[in-house]
Amino acid sequence: MLDTRRFGALLALFCACNDPAATTASSTDDGSTTATSTGAGTSTSTATTAPTTTGEPDSSTSSGDPGFDPPVPVCGNGYLEASEECDDGNTDDGDGCDSACRIPCGRAGEVVALAPSAESELWVVAVAPAPDGSFVAIARQREITSDEEGMQTIGLARTRVLRYGPDAQLAWDVLLAPADVRLTPVDGVVDADGHVYVAATVAGADEDDIRAIKLDGADGHVLWTMDKDGAEPMSDDSASGIALAPDGDVVIAGEVTDGPGGADVWVGKLAAGDGAEVWSTVWSGAGNGMFSNDDAGRIAVAGDGSIYVGAREYVDYNIGEAVLLKFAADGGPAEWVFSPLADGSVHNHGPGWVAVDGAGDVLYTAVRLQGAVSNFWVYKLGPDNELLWERSRADYETDGDQWQLDGAGFTPDGEAVLAGSMRVKDKVAQLEWREAWIARLGGDAEVRCQVRHRAPSPDLLPPDVVTYDTAVGADGTAYVGGVLVVAGEQQSWVGLFRP
């Protein structure tokens, strides 16, 4: 039975209030207040209030009542009032302070769910917006309980799917697979009818297998399940991503081992009606001539059906190469391979996120998998493998350290959205915690706005916010999923950030 201090077995919260970490107010010598973005490192807007007059207090008005009603706050008057996040003296959008006196990228709300016990592990690994403004959080859960003597019982990792309505209220919450089956989710997507598809790795009779699951959008019950097992006996096969095709079917990616030469990138198209395989194809890197153990990453499908899959190519024992693969709508061999960091040096890079915009351009990210300092790279490509622009961690990092990229996507109008987490250290108090960050880029990759989100806390030490995935909805809302760690207790977390 759960401790009552945890507010019940499940908690779903939605807060449309201002993000306390998005702006801070700092006093100046003349008594004015300046609103600044805590994440971008530069001021997003500046508003000046009338200077405060000080003097001897009047004993007849010691109650503090000014004797008149304050003026009604007006957005655009150049004064930071009431719940305004900024006020730059106008009601124009696109200048760092919008027509509602809010800073773009700011947090519009969040949802949180509790694990089965205070010791259990629960974190969101994928978020999937639906066309109607609802969304799904796909989480990994490991139940841990302690007896009266402190002995722990640790359950297997399972998949938990939480469906939230357009109002961010919890609609349903289901656990997939029995408690004695390890099911590890990696990605998910919601179709036009509201049905949910989940890609996961399942512990099968012949080691790990790829599993795709379709859930009914109304209540989350399973409509069908598809498993893929490589031909090599006792091989570990794993899922990496899933996406919708223009015709309503789904395309899933992962790695399978069909022979002794190592795993290959596997891509398969599944019929939406029953999960039957429509076609499948594999890709194998050159390797060292005898062995090539390649890993698959996230997947995206363009409006013309073209399929893009991130991958890590095994080159040799010392080199792992981040690549992007393009496949035709009907499968077959890869049409081209994009390998931006291949310079012959010793390194281990892997794929991050993949997205496609309405024009058919592709957003691809790569990450450093090993090394003393983390790094990531962001590329925008045309459908013919033309590099349009590239960026790296240094273009977004401000203060703090351990900056990570944990999601990327396109808005409906073609802007790129990046999100992740980073570590903050308070050297005076000798404290450290993690915060989320999000950036929106214009068409030429300039930073249109960037903010950081620090979880509020009544204590000196803020809770940790660690991110794992980001997706963009039809209205441009960015959904950032991860975990909120409060006093050591893990809670699944999805933050909703404004366009």
499 residues of the chain, pLDDT tens digit each = 334 334 333 334 444 444 433 333 332 332 222 233 333 333 332 232 333 333 333 333 444 555 667 678 899 898 888 878 888 899 887 777 888 888 888 999 999 999 999 999 999 999 999 999 999 999 999 999 888 888 999 998 899 999 999 999 999 999 998 888 999 999 999 999 999 999 999 998 889 999 999 999 999 999 999 999 999 998 899 999 999 999 999 999 999 999 988 999 999 999 999 999 999 999 999 887 778 899 999 999 999 999 999 999 999 989 999 999 999 999 999 999 999 999 999 999 999 999 999 999 999 999 999 876 789 999 999 999 999 999 999 999 988 899 999 999 999 999 999 999 999 998 887 899 999 999 999 888 999 999 999 998 878 889 999 999 999 999 999 999 999 999 899 999 999 999 8
Are residues 378 and 411 part of one domain? no
Q: Which amino acid is at 457?
A: S
Within a domain: 54: no
Within a domain: 150: no
Are residues 313 and 233 part of one domain? yes
Q: Which are the contacts of 141, defined by CB distance < 8 A and separation ≥ 6?
A: 115, 116, 120, 121, 122, 157, 158, 159, 160, 175
Q: Side-chain half-sphere of 22: how many Cα atoms within 13 Å? A: 28
What is the pLDDT, as a whole number, of residue 290? 76
Within a domain: 142: no
Within a domain: 369: yes
Q: Which amino acid is at 91?
A: T
* CA angle at 96 for the pair 90 and 98, rounded to the nearest 5°: 50
Are residues 470 and 375 part of one domain? no
* CA-closest candidate to residue 282, choices 310, 253, 302: 253
Within a domain: 3: no
Within a domain: 170: no
* pTM of the entire predicted model: 0.83
Cα–Cα distance for residue pair 171/160, rounded to 1 Å: 14
Residue ending a domain, choose from 395, 418, 436: 395
* CA angle at 437 for the pair 435 and 442, rounded to the nearest 5°: 175
Are residues 355 and 444 part of one domain? no
Are residues 355 and 409 part of one domain? no
Are residues 360 and 415 part of one domain? no
Backbone angles phi, psi at 130, to 5 degrees: -105, 160
What is the pLDDT, as a whole number, of residue 70? 67
239 DSSP β-pair partners = 254
pLDDT tens track for 427-477:
887 899 999 999 999 888 999 999 999 998 878 889 999 999 999 999 999
Domain count, the chain: 2
- State the CATH number of the domain containing residue 210: 2.120.10.30
Are residues 129 and 108 part of one domain? yes
224 DSSP β-pair partners = 214
Are residues 389 and 306 part of one domain? yes
Are residues 203 and 120 part of one domain? no
* CA angle at 84 for the pair 78 and 87, rounded to the nearest 5°: 25
Within a domain: 208: yes
Provide the pairing of β-strand 347-356 with 319-328. parallel
What is the pLDDT, as a whole number, of residue 438? 97
* CA angle at 394 for the pair 388 and 400, rounded to the nearest 5°: 145
What is the pLDDT, as a whole number, of residue 4? 38
Residue ending a domain, choose from 375, 395, 415: 395
Are residues 363 and 322 part of one domain? yes
Within a domain: 226: yes
Residue ending a domain, choose from 376, 395, 414: 395
Cα–Cα distance for residue pair 81/391, rounded to 1 Å: 37
Residue 480 domain boundaries: 10-16+83-135+398-499
Are residues 326 and 192 part of one domain? yes
Are residues 426 and 288 part of one domain? no
Q: Which two tokens stand for residue 85?
A: 């996040």
pLDDT tens track for 2-37:
343 343 333 344 444 444 333 333 323 322 222 333
Q: How crowded is residue 482: how many other Cβ atoms within 10 Å of its Cβ?
A: 29
CA distance to 231, 292, 347, 394, 472, per residue, from 289 (Å): 21, 8, 19, 36, 41
